[in-house]
Structure 1
């Protein structure tokens, strides 16, 4: 990304998550009154303001369309689209930037050609904010990064942003702690059968309530999140070892190799063998 900033000072180093899915960076900066910034990214970009600001901030696109707020907001900027940031008064800003290559992450709900070609500036979506906060916390973990489920969070965040404004997200009553507990549990135990009762008891909710609240918060039902976690674990094994596809299938929690192949291809657009060959 190219950037020209005036009156914007970066504070410290960003925390980051880097993978073939995308680049995630969490930044903090101080802005002087009247500060400006001009940005162009080679890839589609999500710009997520993580906490309220002390002054109004505006984003203006190529066509002159602008949006302004001092609240937490989400902006999607297509590849190559210039955007200008202006700040009326002094403020600090903590934000998450996500740059991704749509061609490399496989099918994602809501990611149609039109969705990744049209800018959407400074809209409000609590689902996206929750995914962003989880991803920020994962990037900040001691010892390095978000682990296997970082890319699952990235994909969930992209899907939520491209389906922004879903009323289901506003109906969710899962707290950040409940969501973090349930996601961490699924990721840790994805290779075995996870009962909905376990997740409900973990969060202190009924099974029915938890199921609906989890989907409202993430855009994905719990069993689908577990499948995504299994695919991510399989990717890790395919890229790091030479064990057979059958061994990978069972180690990642799939019933058999045909089941593994069907789910993996549906998630990535490639068979496990083709994906492994491409990585190597």
Structure 2
């Protein structure tokens, strides 16, 4: 991305997560009154303001201009110039996600959405929730979000581009409950996870948890687990030379044909073809 800033000072280094889908960076910047920034990204980009601001901030692009002092999200298509302008002094903590649309894979509703249409400074609680979880994952000590960060990336993109789900406003899952849930699914994705385990983990009934999880993420718990299994299979395929049968068992599939069916549905390629492409 190219950037020209005036009156904008970056505070520290960003925390980041790099995956085969895209690049996530969480930044903090101090803006002086009248500060401006001109940005162009070679890839589609999500710009998500993570906390309320002390002054109004505006974004101007082909779609016009939008301004806000609150949490917001913006989608900027590849190659689209956008200008940030600040009315007064404020600190901005924001998440930037640059992604490759061709690598997202099948996501419900996403094929009907054009990645060439900008959306500036819209408000969506699901987008904010996914962004907060991804920010927390990027800030972890050690090797960061790991595989489950990729699932958060895809969930964030889907929430932002498909316009979210009104049901998300009815979700009473706290950030802690949601974080506990997705962490648990990632750690145990290779075995059968019962709904009652997740319900007990969060202190909710099974029915309530199931509806609240889907409202918060756009994905039922069992589908989130299946995505985690595919991510684990990808990791093994790229890092090791073990057989596809071993990959299948280690990532929670019943056998190699089961892995192949699910993997091809999720990625468009068989595990063998995907491994060959990585090499």
- Helix, strand or coil for the counterpart of 2:110? coil
C-alpha deviation, 1:165, in angstroms: 4.2
Counterpart in the other structure of 2:50? 50
Alpha-carbon displacement from aligned partner over 1:41-66 (angstroms, at most 9, x marks no partner): 00000000000000001111125x11
Structure 2 spans left out of the alignment, 5+ residues: none
Alignment of 1:60-71 (within 5 A): 60-63=60-63, 65-71=64-70
Checking the alignment, whether the CA contact within 8 Å between 2:59 and 2:120 is kept in structure 1 is yes
Correspondence 1:2 to 2:2: yes
The number of aligned residues is 279
Counterpart in the other structure of 1:153? 152
Structure 1 spans left out of the alignment, 5+ residues: none
C-alpha deviation, 1:137, in angstroms: 0.7
Q: Aligned partners of 1:84 and 1:57: how far apart in 2?
A: 10
Checking the alignment, whether the CA contact within 8 Å between 2:113 and 2:161 is kept in structure 1 is no
Taking structure 1 as reference, are residues 165 and 276 closer, same or farther at Cα in structure 2, changes over 3 Å only?
closer
Checking the alignment, whether the CA contact within 8 Å between 2:62 and 2:118 is kept in structure 1 is no
Q: Aligned partners of 1:189 and 1:13: how far apart in 2?
A: 33
Checking the alignment, whether the CA contact within 8 Å between 1:124 and 1:165 is kept in structure 2 is no
Counterpart in the other structure of 2:193? 194
Q: What TM-score comes out, normalization by structure 1 length?
A: 0.98
Aligned-residue RMSD, C-alpha = 1.0
Correspondence 1:220 to 2:253: no
Alpha-carbon displacement from aligned partner over 1:23-75 (angstroms, at most 9, x marks no partner): 00000000000111111100000000000000001111125x11100000010
C-alpha deviation, 1:169, in angstroms: 1.1
Alignment of 1:75-86 (within 5 A): 75-86=74-85
Correspondence 1:99 to 2:94: no
Correspondence 1:119 to 2:113: no
Q: Aligned partners of 2:111 and 2:47: how far apart in 1?
A: 19
Counterpart in the other structure of 1:12? 12
Q: After superposing the two structures, state which structure 1 stretch, 264-273 or 215-224, moved more.
A: 264-273
Alpha-carbon displacement from aligned partner over 1:129-164 (angstroms, at most 9, x marks no partner): 111111111111111210111111100110111122
Checking the alignment, whether the CA contact within 8 Å between 2:127 and 2:164 is kept in structure 1 is no
* Off by >4 Å, runs of 4+ in structure 1: none
Q: Aligned partners of 2:109 and 2:203: how far apart in 1?
A: 31
Counterpart in the other structure of 1:248? 247
Q: Aligned partners of 1:233 and 1:74: how far apart in 2?
A: 30
C-alpha deviation, 1:109, in angstroms: 2.7
